[in-house]
Amino acid sequence: MSLKIYNTLSRSKEEFEPIEADKVRFYVCGPTVYAEAHLGHAMSALVFDIVRRYLMYSGYDVNFVMNFTDVDDKIIAKANEIGADPYELAEHYINEYKRNLAELNILPATKNPRATEDMPQIISMIEALIEKGHAYEAHGDVYYRVESKDDYGKLSGRKLASMNAGARIEVDERKEHPMDFALWKAAKPGEPAWDSPWGQGRPGWHIECSAMNMTHLGEQIDIHGGGNDLIFPHHENEIAQTEAVTGKEFARVWMHNGMMSLKSEKMSKSLGNMITVDEFLADYPADVMRLWVLGGSYRGPLVYSEEVIEQTEQAYKRLLSAKKSALPGAVGLQADALATLQNEAEKAKADFKESMDDDFNTAGALANLFELVKVINLARADGATDVQLAQAQGVFMELAGVLGLTLEEKKAQSASDADAFIDLLVALRRDLRAEKNWALSDKVRDSLKELGVILEDSKDGTSWSWE
């Protein structure tokens, strides 16, 4: 079995073959940092984290670069609005973003380049484009000439002619063609600006990604990812610029995640219908967010609703059940039953890989994981000992880890302090139960539940856990 990935460029699944064997050059478009990260950002980041983890699991050495757009109209506008320095504003949100990623158990990028830190490369790339006739200067601005290459539009499947017809944007007269886009914008008074051959100014949005790609990964990369809202114009323009400069194919595979929506409307900063990552994580473990994303197809939309999140939370609890220890009085499995358990675990692993190899079919992989949960729980119910469960549970945790699930149950702040008292209550309750004082023993159980401690009785004793 080999990995197949859906390539937006060809609109089909293709066998994945990196440029250099065993190495993957992976670039993902990060956010423009002027506001808190919302669940849509989290979805995208999780999708590519899962892709990256699976590539690593498959033996690839992954060089994962995600940029931050830290100079842009929105950042400047927001900074002016609140009277802050644009650079510091960006700095603030970059740190917040990184904190959110860490909380979501997303592996840190190999590199997080920022537009403002690669200015010389951006400028020299624009110079190269002008030199080759793909760009032109006009009053301190520099525009990319979309008609200079005849494959413009190949990613998004658009033809210049048809776009022209529907253009409702006011056409800037300095442009040769309405679709020409800015590589460099002349500075207006008070805006952050850098020196350039065309005067003071700042880079356009698309060129920074091209320049950062080239600087940090090289002229050609294996995978370029981002939200599907970036296909046009952002990624289309990135391809145009980069290929115009290098004359080589830019990215082998273009991956795009679907959008998150809230009540049938795309969640976005500009629409204001967003739930921030912090808001979500205040109520649910990071694993629930990840599990929710894993439950669907990364290319499709994800619709937020309380009901779905609660369902996901229940599913999460079921996943957790596989980790539990053997029952107190476990007598051990017969040899054939143990063999079945281990075979099933290996089968789950093989099925899991097969699912993931098919364009990261996480919903299928998750189903394979749940099948393993069932097998483990069944073995435990049949009396398997901890030692006998270990192999299957090891496979289970390995696969969960590939998906980035930690399955760590959250502990109360002062867990270590409380433990002794809870143990004491459980011991007292055992005596109450021995005396068949059900009223009091139930009261202890109910009261502890209100404090977030779950008691579970079995004929061999009582176990407890934090909710």
Partner RNA sequence: GGCGACGUGGCCAAGUGGUAAGGCAGGAGUCUGCAAAACUCUCAUCAUGGGUUCGAUUCCCAUCGUCGCCUCCA
> Which residues are CB-neighbours of 160 under 8 A, at least 6 positions away?
146, 147, 152, 153, 177, 179
The 10 Å Cβ neighbour count of residue 98 is: 16
**Longest Cα–Cα distance in the chain:** 92
| Residue 242 within binding range of RNA, rule CB under 7 A | no
Site for RNA in 296-315 (CB under 7 A): 296-297, 299-303, 307-308, 310-311, 314-315
232, 156 in Cβ contact below 8 A? yes
Among 169, 282, 335, 434, the residue binding RNA under the rule CB under 7 A is: 169
The region of 30-38, 195-203, 337-345, 388-396 touching RNA under the rule CB under 7 A is 30-38
Closest CB 177 distance from RNA, rounded Å: 12
167, 161 in Cβ contact below 8 A? no
Site for RNA in 389-428 (CB under 7 A): none
Of the two residues 224 and 252, which places its CB atom closer to RNA in the complex? 224
Token pair, residue 41, equals 């950002």
Closest CB 60 distance from RNA, rounded Å: 22
Residue carrying the six token digits 């969960």:
400
The 10 Å Cβ neighbour count of residue 110 is: 15
Q: What is the distance between the alpha carbons of residues 454 and 466, in angstroms, rounded to a whole number?
A: 6
| Residue 29 within binding range of RNA, rule CB under 7 A | yes
461, 328 in Cβ contact below 8 A? yes
Site for RNA in 280-299 (CB under 7 A): 295-297, 299
| Residue 333 within binding range of RNA, rule CB under 7 A | no
315, 308 in Cβ contact below 8 A? no
Site for RNA in 342-361 (CB under 7 A): 355, 358, 361
Among 398, 419, 442, 460, the residue binding RNA under the rule CB under 7 A is: 442
Of the two residues 11 and 248, which places its CB atom closer to RNA in the complex? 11
User: How many residues lie near RNA (CB under 7 A)?
Assistant: 86
The region of 107-115, 210-218, 242-250, 453-461 touching RNA under the rule CB under 7 A is 453-461
Site for RNA in 42-101 (CB under 7 A): 43-44, 69, 72, 74
Among 363, 407, 412, 425, the residue binding RNA under the rule CB under 7 A is: 363
Type of residue at 173: E
Where are any strands of DSSP class E within 23-149? 23-28, 61-66, 135-138, 141-144
Among 127, 229, 249, 278, the residue binding RNA under the rule CB under 7 A is: 229
Among 58, 156, 215, 385, the residue binding RNA under the rule CB under 7 A is: 156
* Opening angle at CA 358, ends 355 and 364, nearest 5: 30
- Upstream peptide bond of 301 is cis (omega within 30 degrees of 0): no
Closest CB 57 distance from RNA, rounded Å: 19
Among 23, 132, 318, 410, the residue binding RNA under the rule CB under 7 A is: 318
